């Protein structure tokens, strides 16, 4: 039975207490020191009302737990995994080796990392047939958005929420442009 540190997300707008909803997104990381970055993925899931679980799974310190997590993930109802690691960041690739669920890798610029570059290089060049979708360094929020985009393929509510999210992003840029114009900023568009 995985994971003892798991908390499923409350639906959007509710409090943070665990819910009985089956988590769809599994957010895992190699160390507690990664949590300050990876918590952004949980926050995005919460905002979209997507049930998730979040826990520590170290490929080096708890290798058997990693195998158990990856092998049981699909059976437990998870649909996509987000795996973060820093330095010798083997977690996303190794988890991908043990599951057919899509795995999104988050390279972390941890204290042991060479500015996140070793983390990226540890996960991007996966062998053919065992992909990891790697996002930018420390980009846990984007990993969650990508996970939700995957879930939205078969979920009209999430697709609608993503459309609104994109519109909000656009509106924010347009408001900024308007503010800059008022301040004398020239643009020829």
Q: Which residues bind ligand RP5 (CB under 6 A)?
A: 29-31, 33-34, 58, 85-87, 108, 110, 112
* Pick 50 or 113: Cβ nearer ligand RP5: 113
Q: How far is the CB of 44 from ligand RP5 (least distance, A)?
A: 20
Q: How far is the CB of 37 from ligand RP5 (least distance, A)?
A: 9
Nearest to 123 by CA among 132, 114, 111: 132
Length of the chain as a residue count: 189
- DSSP character for 30? S
Neighbours of 164 (CB within 10 A): 10
Residue 33: alpha-carbon gap to chain centroid: 16
Burial class (CB in 10 A: 0-12, 13-18, 19+), 81: buried
Q: How far is the CB of 130 from ligand RP5 (least distance, A)?
A: 20
* Pick 29 or 158: Cβ nearer ligand RP5: 29
Q: Which residue has the tokens 């665990």?
A: 18
* Pick 108 or 140: Cβ nearer ligand RP5: 108
Q: How far is the CB of 132 from ligand RP5 (least distance, A)?
A: 15
* Pick 66 or 150: Cβ nearer ligand RP5: 66
- Nearest-angstrom CA–CA distance, 105 and 176: 32
Q: How far is the CB of 30 from ligand RP5 (least distance, A)?
A: 3
């Amino acid at each position: 039975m995985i994971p003892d540190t798991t908390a499923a997300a409350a639906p959007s707008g509710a409090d943070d207490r665990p819910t009985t909803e089956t988590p769809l997104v599994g957010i895992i990381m190699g160390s507690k020191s990664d949590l300050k970055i990876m918590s952004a993925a949980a926050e995005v899931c919460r905002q979209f009302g997507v049930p998730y679980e979040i826990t520590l799974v170290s490929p080096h310190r708890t290798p058997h737990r990693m195998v158990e997590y990856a092998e049981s993930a699909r059976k437990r109802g998870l649909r996509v995994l987000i795996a973060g690691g820093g330095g010798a960041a083997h977690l996303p690739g190794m988890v991908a080796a043990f599951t057919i669920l899509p795995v999104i890798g988050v390279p972390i610029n941890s204290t042991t990392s060479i500015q996140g570059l070793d983390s990226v290089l540890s996960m991007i060049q996966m062998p053919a047939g065992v992909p990891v979708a790697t996002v930018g360094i420390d980009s846990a929020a984007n990993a969650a958005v990508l996970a939700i985009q995957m879930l939205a393929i078969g979920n009209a509510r999430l697709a609608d929420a993503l459309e609104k999210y994109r519109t909000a992003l656009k509106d924010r840029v347009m408001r900024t442009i308007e503010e800059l114009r008022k301040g004398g900023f020239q643009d020829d568009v």
